[in-house]
Amino acid sequence: QVQLVESGGGLVQAGGSLRLSCAASGRTFSNYAMGWFRQAPGKERESVAAISWSGGRTNYQDSVKGRFTISRDNAKNTVYLQMNSLKPEDTAVYYCAAKYSSAALPYTSISAYDYWGQGTQVTVSS
């Protein structure tokens, strides 16, 4: 089992920044690819960013490219999502997820992931 706990969400004005953190425990963190997903009210959960177990490969949804950065610190068992130039349409509950993987790939499919956090709310006001 892997336990994931997100933090760092909150209310921010459009154009502002937030940094989400996801702390993992329970298994060897560096064995897992990680992803950030979000779900807005009335919408399906979608991939925002993903990172391979090594951190060497990343993937971003087109709408966040150039604004969001995913990173990880395997020594701290933590994955981050730096969100800059936030827009009202970024408002959602953000979830981190972990996928056991020996391949150095980022994964964007929801069904690929084995473990999920409880989510953290991000609200961007206009």
Inform me whether the pLDDT recorded for 2 exceeds 90: yes
Measured CA to CA, the distance from residue 122 to residue 108 in angstroms comes to: 20
Measured CA to CA, the distance from residue 118 to residue 114 in angstroms comes to: 14
**% of the chain with per-residue pLDDT over 70:** 100
32-81 confidence digits (pLDDT tens): 999 999 999 999 999 999 999 999 999 999 999 999 999 999 999 999 99
Q: Is 43 helix (H, G, I), strand (E, B) or coil?
A: coil
80-118 confidence digits (pLDDT tens): 999 999 999 999 999 999 999 888 899 999 999 999 999
Measured CA to CA, the distance from residue 50 to residue 73 in angstroms comes to: 14
Angle among Cα 30, 24, 100 to the nearest 5 degrees reads 45
**Mean per-residue pLDDT over the chain, rounded:** 96
pLDDT, average across residues 11-39: 96
Q: Is 31 helix (H, G, I), strand (E, B) or coil?
A: helix
**% of the chain with per-residue pLDDT over 90:** 94
CB atoms within 10 A of CB 83: 26
Measured CA to CA, the distance from residue 11 to residue 64 in angstroms comes to: 18
Give the per-residue pLDDT at 102.
81
